[in-house]
Amino acid sequence: MINHNAIDRSPKSHTTNNCYVPPHCRTLPDRQVQICLQRRHHLAETVARELR
């Protein structure tokens, strides 16, 4: 299970393996989160760059 509190305190907020996790994805079970991350990966990369 992903520890979202630990993730929230990390330098890259709401990330898993350096991938941005949209709020609606963070509420899903881990397997669904991974699927959601895969779908949003390219957008996530853009968002991550903008947030730096």
Per the confidence metrics, is the pTM higher than 0.75? no
- pLDDT in 10s for each residue of the chain, 52 residues: 555 554 444 444 444 455 566 666 666 567 766 776 666 665 667 777 777 6
How far are the Cα atoms of 29, 40 from residue 14, in angstroms, in the given order?
15, 14
Can you tell me which residue has the tokens 């899903």? 28
Q: Please report the sign of the dihedral spanned by the C-alpha atoms of residue 3, residue 20, residue 28, residue 36.
A: negative
Predicted confidence at residue 51, as pLDDT, reads: 73
- 18 dihedral zone (left: phi>0; alpha: psi -120 to 50; beta): left
